[in-house]
Structure 1
């Protein structure tokens, strides 16, 4: 029988490590540029970096110091300034935000107190404290904002501010182009992953017809073929809404791409480079992904199909935590955690392959699915409706799998992301599927 004290200590160590990793990344993202870059709005789609920094601290204060520990508010007057639903991103530069040094001091003060709370925490008694959920939720929240800040860095104009080694080069992938996923039921979602968020719950059985799915995400070279074949000029590949969006915004290629003679260049974190043909395409919106799939005679996978391809182990007739099994992600499994600042070449990470032979389902690029963002049967909002429930509906499309910008703490085989179908500043790509002839 497992000693509860040992379980609690392991939870405490995991929570501390997750919070420290997140804060180290936040510090990197907010210290690599000077004050004007922190307070500027680099795109109306994004907040100033200094807003994200103080928002991270404010959320941590509200949930770990006030909700878990019952402490008095440190700075209650700033709660509304850093309420994501109170002020749209385009308006945040006009708010009386904390200046950079004050925001840093505030976030550091909250963190010091939060670690004291964690040192004494009992991981039972309430849903918020069970298995350290609140601490895991805050670590995930900070990492999600770190990804948002990395997007801001990509949108930022100016010299390179971030560096990271490139992924290891791999031989050109010559495996099968697609994999058969057998039909039948599987368990989707989770009821026992302790830090899973509300929209991942509860676990439920889902029936999926047999289908085939791309072994790897769609590459830049494959997407260039769509462009060269006039994909952006042919309305039959696009939904009516997608075609209107293309015409209205004069889209001709993924975001950050430009043609230079016979080749395509892209801007990536302040550096202009030739678009690498073997990397998964990134910075495409749902409409572009859907149009490519139609042009290729295929379709986007549904969310249930994607999760079955990522989690179903036919040998044990069960759903695993990740494509490779139940072990936490390691550097051999996936491109995660801003370890690199780009996707790895298609076919990388054979150790991360699913039992059915699908690669790179976790990390590299978020993958658009065909599905609207909807609740699972039996969904219950927790601990607040504004995390998931207010976004449910046909306006948002589901993305799965994470990207190179996602930390492992905020990425699981059950993790669900969502965004508007026009969004492409995010690190989004896709893979295609087709129904199996029966």
Structure 2
């Protein structure tokens, strides 16, 4: 397998490669530790995957992309796993259909973890002898891929537990210990715009869809200093926002009607009070926390109701680069255990919710998908989806960079998604 050109420039982590590999793999194991075999096997909907499958898939990636191709004499753990844990790599052959991943009652979670240990041991031996730029680039891609699945594992577990009438808590149910004295972000910040450069440079790791660097025109605009809160969203609800077709895009209104949306996903009214299902079980809706688990359609309807608009992705990237200078953006810490600490170019508008943009997910100018298996990573999904920017309470902090492009179908709600308002100047 020839290394894609986008991986020739890798970020040199201060930790040795093996230590970096171990650190990220152990995080996944900590995420799955609270789960029973049943928890890890059930699939709550077609879009979600069982936790056990996530653990098998990220292990399959290292086995398939690195060990099978580069480690001389490597013997796969079990041939059937190549079918069970492939996700969407058509070039690698048939696979278990995504909607049927929950039918994999076998192998057990225990055996999947044995598989994981087997691959980890072989990766350790292999990396002790080969840490070429080519191999290091593929390992880094695999580790970033695993961090994406760590986030998906949490979102899928939340959706699964929300279907259980017992509403079990994945984590301890006490409220988050955020800084109650921290003032909520308010007001607006203006940006002059211009013909500016966007996208990830060739230095350091980035996914293929973040490149190449290109120029784009950004008109002057203002951006809200904080994401929309639950308090603001309740005003939208109480004003009949979910019942006014004039606020909605046509497809969004049809979805709202068909699925009887009346509030964000996981919200539930009990004795005139709003509650929400979280990874810590059922909690009172925190009115000052960013609204979460809303679709693009809901975000767009809210922006129309507020007489504002959703920001475009280049506007949020510009804001991310300038945030440290302007100092007007900060994560609330109300959704994760503490506000994200930002250094360097990582901007403080990250850390609460993924923020919907008004930009469809499409290739940057001169984007070209790589050849081979790695070329199937993002390019094939550049149709019918919206870009999200920033990073959520479930996102690895290393992924919260100004150029990161997340993307989802506009009707999806189970991810940690919210919005920030923008307006033209």
- Please confirm whether the aligned pair reaches a TM-score higher than 0.5, indicating the same fold: yes
Secondary structure of 2:292's aligned partner: coil
In structure 1, which of residues 239, 244, 253 is the aligned counterpart of residue 263 of structure 2? 253
1:364 aligns with 2:384: no
Residue 117 of structure 1 and its aligned partner are, at CA, apart by 2.5
In structure 2, which of residues 355, 368, 375 is the aligned counterpart of residue 385 of structure 1? 375
1:102 aligns with 2:111: yes
The answer (yes or no) to whether the contact 1:154–1:268 under 8 Å persists in 2 is yes
1:239 aligns with 2:249: yes
The answer (yes or no) to whether the contact 1:293–1:432 under 8 Å persists in 2 is yes
Equivalent residue number for residue 375 of structure 1: 363
Residue 219 of structure 1 and its aligned partner are, at CA, apart by 0.7
Structure 2: how far apart are the matches of 1:151 and 1:175?
Answer: 26
Structure 1: how far apart are the matches of 2:115 and 2:60?
Answer: 8
Q: RMSD of the alignment, in Å? A: 2.9
1:342 aligns with 2:335: yes
Residue 123 of structure 1 and its aligned partner are, at CA, apart by 3.5
Equivalent residue number for residue 224 of structure 1: 234
Structure 1: how far apart are the matches of 2:423 and 2:330?
Answer: 26
Residue 167 of structure 1 and its aligned partner are, at CA, apart by 4.4
Count of residue correspondences: 399
The answer (yes or no) to whether the contact 2:356–2:388 under 8 Å persists in 1 is yes
Structure 2: how far apart are the matches of 1:354 and 1:231?
Answer: 40
Secondary structure of 1:384's aligned partner: helix
Deviation larger for 221-230 or 184-193: 184-193
Equivalent residue number for residue 169 of structure 1: 179
Structure 2: how far apart are the matches of 1:334 and 1:30?
Answer: 26
Secondary structure of 1:290's aligned partner: helix
TM-score by length of 2: 0.86
1:89 aligns with 2:98: yes
**After TM superposition, where is structure 1 displaced by more than 4 Å over at least 4 residues in a row?**
7-12, 332-335, 351-355
In structure 2, which of residues 37, 43, 46 is the aligned counterpart of residue 41 of structure 1? 43
In structure 2, which of residues 301, 308, 328 is the aligned counterpart of residue 291 of structure 1? 301
Structure 1: how far apart are the matches of 2:330 and 2:116?
Answer: 33
Structure 1: how far apart are the matches of 2:13 and 2:158?
Answer: 35
Change in CA separation of 1:186 and 1:56 when aligned onto 2, cut-off 3 Å: same
Secondary structure of 1:80's aligned partner: helix
The answer (yes or no) to whether the contact 1:280–1:343 under 8 Å persists in 2 is no
1:70-219, aligned counterparts within 5 Å? 72-74=74-76, 75-85=78-88, 86-95=95-104, 97-124=106-133, 128-129=134-135, 132-155=136-159, 156=161, 157=164, 158=166, 159-163=168-172, 166-171=176-181, 173=183, 176-219=186-229
Q: Which consecutive unaligned segments of at least 5 residues does structure 2 have?
A: 1-8, 89-94
Equivalent residue number for residue 403 of structure 1: 392
Secondary structure of 1:166's aligned partner: coil
Residue 172 of structure 1 and its aligned partner are, at CA, apart by 5.8
Change in CA separation of 1:70 and 1:229 when aligned onto 2, cut-off 3 Å: farther
Residue 25 of structure 1 and its aligned partner are, at CA, apart by 2.1
Equivalent residue number for residue 3 of structure 2: none
Q: Over residues 286-324 of structure 1, what are the superposed CA-to-partner deviations in whole Å (9 max), with x where a residue is unaligned?
A: 00111001100011111111111111x4xxxxxxxxx54
TM-score by length of 1: 0.83
In structure 2, which of residues 415, 422, 425 is the aligned counterpart of residue 433 of structure 1? 422
Q: Over residues 10-42 of structure 1, what are the superposed CA-to-partner deviations in whole Å (9 max), with x where a residue is unaligned?
A: 647253344223222221222212112122223
Equivalent residue number for residue 281 of structure 2: 271
